[in-house]
A and B are shown apart, each in its own frame.
Chain A
Amino acid sequence: MKLTLNIWRQKDKNSKGQFENYNLNEVSPDMSFLEMLDVLNEDLLHKGDEPVAFDHDCREGICGACSMTINGRPHGPEKQTTTCQLHMRKFNDGETITIEPFRAKPFPVIRDLIVDRTSFDRIQQAGGFVSVNTGSSPDSNAVPIAKVAADKAFDAAACIGCGACVAACPNGAAMLFTSAKIGQFALLPQGQPERKERVIAMVKQMDSEGFGACTNHYECEAACPKGISVEFIAMMNRDFMKASFSR
């Protein structure tokens, strides 16, 4: 395959970025999107140019590192697929592909396609955990949990914190991420003692990071590589209001 890549280049947080065009002539349709970028970077290195910086780690769709917006879609056009799991056969020979970093004020660009997503870590640290005394692990099934609740909690827990929801949201809102991190505990007995403090603390952190407010476009759900439902946002809203009025 022949491709033209239109890639955002930005030296560091404080520089102004711009798009650069690159041509690739021998892309295999079986390559992953990141392998295609590896090929581009080899080319650039051979020519003595700076390679394109992009984030990646597991390359198997579980770490959530490979953030980039491909032709206007976070993680590209394929449903429920991270960039590392996206294959070049999903593109056409001769196509021009535009690659931009995730865009949001709380996700500042560090270099080229890499953004700083520590705002997510801070939301998580504000309450996305269950406080327990350490000791030996409890017996399995000691706490009975309904199958539906367990399944739903697991759906929320599938969140890999990749930031695609924020990147896709026309408002730059982080409500899908935050609600998944709250919802995974709100549905389980282990999450109950800290339920109110958790939802308030995490929403507070989310707001103070400068994320936008949801207007229910549902672009987040469409972009989520784990298919997390906006139902969790509705649940978070309910929990948040209940907790606010009963403090």
Chain B
Amino acid sequence: MSSYNPFNSTIFNKVIMAGTGVILVLFVIGHMVGNLQVFLGADVFNTYAHFLKSTGELLWIMRLVLLLCVVLHVYTSLKLKFLNMKARPEGYSVTSYVKSTLYSRTMIYSGIVIFLFVVYHLLHFTAFVTNPEYADYSENYGPVLQSSGMIDHSGNIIQVTEGEGIFDRHDAYKMVITGFNKPIVAIVYILAVLFLALHLSHAIQSMFQTLGWSGPKTTPRLMLVSKLIGWGLFVGFASIPVSVLIFGLGKGVIG
């Protein structure tokens, strides 16, 4: 048995998928809760966004962990998909499924859609590659100045205006509202979270099963939880572009 490395086994690969899945699911839930603060107005939302950006090393640790999870998750999913295709070189002419679902059988496709979306999403709202002007959206906050004038700010002379906050931060609220005011962008985001819902409706229960939590009573309950979380995330995430596009959320900030 010496030449066999259990860490190359199908089971270990499945456990990697499930383990990275746990972290990604927790992240996605946290991300949705954070995003929902957009409904509490520009100030709350920008404070939250500013807080995230100000965590320094912690932010980079989070990003690296998530990146590692995505890389491992995608790599093992493709590896196992190819393995599974090879395990049935000649298919059936008639198929008839009993317990599997359309989304359990399309995990790799919903996954690929999510992956492509994540790349776009990062280029859009994180790196501003698609919309460089987002980088210049800024907002004043903090104690309000009593008078206008010029000040020397570490060697730079800058103009300050009466009635504005003395600090400056990125206006993430304006960015989100502007972004989702383009129907095509809003629709892409809504479709992406639809695929996320399809993926997770199967994935969450699957993850518990893979990690060893299963049983005749437990499994149906976990299936329900899986669907509730999956569709809950859809409603939560999609509510933002829908509110902006259809109900005019934040119309004020873009004039």
Interface size class of A (residues with CB under 8 A): 35 or more
| A172-B87 contact in complex given A217-B105, A237-B212, C-beta closer than 8 Å | yes
The A-B contact count (CB < 8 A) is 151
Are A204 and B212 interface neighbours, CB within 8 A?
Answer: no
Given the complex, which residues of A lie within 8 Å of B98, measured CB to CB?
Answer: 73, 168, 219, 222-223
Given the complex, which residues of A lie within 8 Å of B153, measured CB to CB?
Answer: none
Given the complex, which residues of A lie within 8 Å of B94, measured CB to CB?
Answer: 69, 71-72, 98, 100
Given the complex, which residues of A lie within 8 Å of B211, measured CB to CB?
Answer: 234, 237-238
Are B13 and A213 interface neighbours, CB within 8 A?
Answer: yes
Task: Across the interface, name the chain B residue whose C-beta is closest to A201.
Answer: B1
Are B86 and A171 interface neighbours, CB within 8 A?
Answer: no
Smallest beta-carbon distance B169→chain A, Å: 44
Q: How far is the CA of A191 from the CA of B165 in the complex (A)?
A: 72
* Partner-binding segment picked from A28-36, A84-92, A225-233: A225-233
Given the complex, which residues of B lie within 8 Å of A218, measured CB to CB?
Answer: 99-100
- The answer to the question of A221 belonging to the interface, with a C-beta cut-off of 8 Å to chain B, is yes
Task: Across the interface, name the chain A residue whose C-beta is closest to B210.
Answer: A237
Are B104 and A217 interface neighbours, CB within 8 A?
Answer: yes
Given the complex, which residues of A lie within 8 Å of B209, measured CB to CB?
Answer: 216, 230, 233-234
Are B87 and A237 interface neighbours, CB within 8 A?
Answer: no
Are A240 and B104 interface neighbours, CB within 8 A?
Answer: no
Partner of A237, one of B14, B95, B99, B107: B14
Given the complex, which residues of B lie within 8 Å of A210, measured CB to CB?
Answer: 86-87
| A230-B219 contact in complex given A200-B1, A204-B1, C-beta closer than 8 Å | yes
Task: Across the interface, name the chain B residue whose C-beta is closest to A97.
Answer: B94
Q: Contact flags (1/0) for A40-78 with B, using CB distance below 8 Å?
A: 000000000000000000000000000001011100010
| A221-B99 contact in complex given A216-B206, A231-B216, C-beta closer than 8 Å | yes
| A173-B216 contact in complex given A103-B90, A213-B10, A237-B211, C-beta closer than 8 Å | no
Q: How far is the CA of A221 from the CA of B112 in the complex (A)?
A: 28
Given the complex, which residues of B lie within 8 Å of A216, measured CB to CB?
Answer: 104, 202, 205-206, 209-210
Are A197 and B1 interface neighbours, CB within 8 A?
Answer: yes
Given the complex, which residues of A lie within 8 Å of B97, measured CB to CB?
Answer: 72, 170, 217, 219
Given the complex, which residues of B lie within 8 Å of A217, measured CB to CB?
Answer: 97, 99-100, 104-105
Q: Can you report 10 residue pairs joining A to B where beta carbons are below 8 Å apart?
A: A69-B92, A77-B96, A100-B92, A106-B87, A173-B10, A215-B84, A215-B104, A218-B99, A222-B99, A243-B6
Chain A positions near chain B (C-beta within 8 angstroms)? 19, 69, 71-73, 77, 98, 100, 103-106, 168, 170-173, 175, 197, 200-201, 203-204, 206-207, 210-219, 221-223, 229-231, 233-238, 240-241, 243-244, 247
Chain B positions near chain A (C-beta within 8 angstroms)? 1, 4, 6-7, 9-15, 80, 83-84, 86-100, 104-105, 107, 202, 205-206, 209-216, 219
Taking A203-B11, A212-B88 as known contacts, 11 extra A-B pairs with beta carbons closer than 8 A to each other, sorted by chain A number, are A173-B10, A212-B84, A212-B86, A217-B105, A218-B100, A219-B97, A229-B216, A237-B14, A237-B15, A241-B212, A244-B7
